[in-house]
C-alpha cells in the first residue's frame, strides 16, 4: 500500500515537473506585465531544440558507449535554452519594442512554436529512418535520467523524494529562487512595480523595457526547460509529434492556480500532475466506462477556474493578477 502510494506520488511529480518549469517561467513573465500566451509554443521549441542537439550529438558518436555524460546533457540543454530564448526574443521584440497586442502575438508564437516542434520532429524522424513515428534518444536520455544511486535502497522515502533526475530538482530550485527573488529582492520589487504600474515605475527611474525583456526571456528559457524535461526524462528520450499535448496551457493554468507565486507552484504542480495521471491510471472509480476518465482530465482546469473566480470575488490586493497584465507600455500615453 505504502509503496503503491509512493509510486503514485513519484509519478505525479514527474508529470508535474514540466508544468512547474512552464509556470515558473510564465509567472516571471507575467510579473513584468507580459501575458505570454506563447508558452505552449515555447515549451515545444525548447523540447525540439534539445532533441535536435541530442540527435546530432548521438549521430556524431562512433558507438553509443562512447557517449560523454557531460556533453550529452550540456548540448541538448544549451540548444533548448537557445531555442526558447529566440522565442522569447521574438515575443519581446513584438510586444515591448513594437508594442503589439500581447494576446495576438502570444497565440501566433504558439502556432509558430508548435509548428517548429512538429516540423523538425517529423524531419528528424525521416532522416532517422525509423519505422515508427518517433525518435528515440535513449543514450542521451539515460544521462538525463540518472538519479541518486542510493534512492531505491531507501524504500518509500527514496521513491518520493530522491528518485528523480537532476532537472526535476533544478525545477524546484528555480521556482523557490524565483519566489525569493520576487518577494525579497530589489530586482523583484522593481519587476513587480513594472507589472503593476509601469508609469510609476518609469517615473522612479526603472528601465521598463529592460525589465520586460529580461523577465520574459529568462521566463521563456525556464519554460523551455520544461519541454526538454518532458522529452528527455518523462518520455525517456522519445519524441513523437503532438505528444506534449496541452501541457503548455496547463502551465498557464497553474500560474493562476498558484496566484502568481512560483514557490507555491512546487506543491501545486505535483497536485496537477496527480490529477493528470488520474485519467491514465485506473485509480478513481470509473463505473466500468472509460468515458468518465475524460471528465477527470477536466479537473485541473475546473479547479483553476474556481481559484480564478474566488480570488476575484475575495478581491484581496495581494492575490490579484499584475494590474498592467496584457497591456503594452508607451511612455507618452498616460
Partner 1 sequence: MNGSGHTPLVHISKRSALPWYLSWAIRLGAIVLALIVCALVTTLLTGVSPLGVYATIIQGSFGTVRKFWVLLQELAILLCVSLAVTPAFKMRFWNIGGEGQVLIGGLATAACMFYFGDKMPNALLILVMIIASILAAAVWAAIPAFFKAKWNTNETLFTLMMNYVAIQLVSYFCNVWDRKGSGIVGIINPKTEAGWFPVIAGKEYLLNVLIVAVLTAAVYAYLRFTKHGYELSVVGESERTARYVGIKVEKVILRTMILSGALCGVAGLLLVGGTDHTISTTTAGGRGFTAVMVSWLAKFNPIFMVLTSFLLAFLSRGSSQIAQNFGLNHSFGDILTGIILFFIIGSEFFINYRISFRSGGEKEEGSHA
Strand ranges in 78-232 using DSSP code E only, listed in sequence order: 135-136
Q: 267 vs 292, which CB is nearer to partner 1? A: 292
Binding map of partner 1 across residues 284-313, x = CB under 8 A, - = no contact: -----xxxxxxx-xx--xx-xx--xx--xx
Contacts 24+ apart (CB under 8 A), 78-81: 78/53, 79/49, 79/50, 79/52, 79/53, 79/54, 80/46, 80/47, 80/49, 80/50, 80/53, 80/224, 80/225, 80/227, 80/228, 81/46, 81/221, 81/224, 81/225
CA-CA-CA-CA torsion sign (158, 161, 13, 310): positive
- CA 107/CA 88 separation, integer angstroms: 13
Q: Which residues pair with 136 in a beta bridge?
A: 238
Residue 18 binds to partner 1 (criterion: CB under 8 A):
no
Q: Determine if 203 is a binding residue for partner 1 (CB under 8 A).
A: no
Q: Which is nearer to partner 1, 21 or 276 (CB)?
A: 276
CA dihedral 155, 158, 163, 164 (to 10 degrees): 160
Least Å distance between CB 305 and partner 1? 5
| Nearer Cβ to partner 1 (78/292) | 292
The yes or no reply on residue 240 touching partner 1 (CB under 8 A) is no
134 near partner 1, rule: CB under 8 A:
no
* Interaction between residue 231 and partner 1 (CB under 8 A): no
Residues 206 and 190 sit within 8 Å (Cβ to Cβ): yes
**Is 253 a binder of partner 1 (CB under 8 A)?**
yes
**Between 204 and 310, CB nearer to partner 1:** 310
Three cell numbers, residue 121: 520532429
Measure the CA–CA gap between 71 and 83, rounded to whole angstroms: 18
Tell the smallest beta-carbon distance from residue 270 to partner 1 (Å): 20
Cell of 325: 497584465
Tell me the number of residues near partner 1 by CB under 8 A. Answer: 59
CA distance 127 to 245: 24
Element at 51 (helix H, strand E): helix 39-60
Q: Which is nearer to partner 1, 64 or 290 (CB)?
A: 290
**Spatial separation of the C-alpha atoms in residues 82 and 218, rounded to whole Å:** 11
Residue 190 C-beta: closest distance to partner 1, Å: 21
- The least CB distance from residue 120 to partner 1, in Å, is 9
Q: Rank residues 214 and 308 by Cβ distance to partner 1 and give the closer one.
A: 308
To partner 1, the closest distance from the beta carbon of 280 in angstroms equals 14
As measured in angstroms, the least distance from the Cβ of 101 to partner 1 is: 6
Which residues 72-131 are close enough to bind partner 1 by CB under 8 A? 90, 93-94, 97-101, 103-105, 107-119, 121-123
Residue 141 to residue 322: CA distance in whole angstroms: 38
Residue 136 DSSP one-character state: E
Least separation, in Å, of the C-beta of 118 and partner 1?
Answer: 4
Residues that bind partner 1 (CB under 8 A): 35, 37, 90, 93-94, 97-101, 103-105, 107-119, 121-123, 241, 246, 249, 252-253, 256, 289-295, 297-298, 301-302, 304-305, 308-309, 312-313, 315, 321, 325-326, 330, 332-333
Amino acid at each position: 500500500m505504502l509503496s503503491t502510494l509512493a509510486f503514485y506520488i513519484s509519478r505525479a511529480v514527474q508529470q508535474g515537473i514540466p508544468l512547474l518549469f512552464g509556470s515558473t517561467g510564465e509567472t516571471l513573465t507575467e510579473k513584468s506585465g507580459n501575458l505570454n500566451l506563447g508558452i505552449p509554443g515555447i515549451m515545444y521549441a525548447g523540447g525540439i531544440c534539445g532533441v535536435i542537439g541530442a540527435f546530432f550529438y548521438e549521430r556524431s558518436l562512433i558507438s553509443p558507449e562512447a557517449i560523454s555524460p557531460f556533453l550529452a546533457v550540456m548540448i541538448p540543454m544549451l540548444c533548448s535554452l537557445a531555442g526558447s530564448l529566440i522565442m522569447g526574443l521574438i515575443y519581446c521584440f513584438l510586444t515591448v519594442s513594437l508594442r503589439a497586442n500581447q494576446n495576438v502575438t502570444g497565440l501566433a508564437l504558439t502556432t509558430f512554436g508548435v509548428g517548429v516542434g512538429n516540423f523538425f520532429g517529423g524531419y528528424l524522424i525521416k532522416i532517422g529512418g525509423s519505422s515508427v513515428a518517433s525518435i528515440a534518444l535513449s543514450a542521451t536520455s539515460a544521462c538525463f535520467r540518472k538519479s541518486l544511486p542510493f534512492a531505491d535502497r531507501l524504500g518509500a522515502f527514496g521513491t518520493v523524494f530522491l528518485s528523480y533526475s537532476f532537472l526535476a530538482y533544478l525545477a524546484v530550485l528555480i521556482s523557490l529562487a524565483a519566489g525569493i527573488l520576487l518577494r525579497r529582492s530589489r530586482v523583484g520589487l522593481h519587476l513587480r512595480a513594472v507589472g503593476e504600474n509601469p508609469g510609476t515605475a518609469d517615473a522612479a527611474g526603472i528601465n521598463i523595457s529592460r525589465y520586460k525583456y529580461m523577465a520574459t526571456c529568462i521566463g521563456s528559457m525556464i519554460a523551455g526547460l520544461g519541454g526538454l524535461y518532458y522529452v528527455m526524462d518523462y518520455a525517456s528520450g522519445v519524441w513523437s509529434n503532438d505528444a506534449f499535448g496541452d501541457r503548455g496551457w496547463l502551465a498557464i493554468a497553474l500560474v493562476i492556480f498558484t496566484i502568481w507565486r512560483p514557490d507555491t507552484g512546487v506543491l501545486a504542480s505535483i497536485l496537477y500532475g496527480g490529477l493528470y495521471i488520474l485519467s491514465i491510471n485506473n485509480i478513481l472509480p470509473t463505473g466500468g466506462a472509460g468515458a468518465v476518465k475524460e471528465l477527470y482530465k477536466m479537473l485541473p482546469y475546473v479547479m483553476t477556474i474556481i481559484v480564478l473566480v474566488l480570488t476575484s470575488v475575495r478581491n484581496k490586493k495581494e492575490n490579484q493578477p499584475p494590474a498592467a497584465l496584457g497591456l503594452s507600455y508607451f511612455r507618452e500615453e498616460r
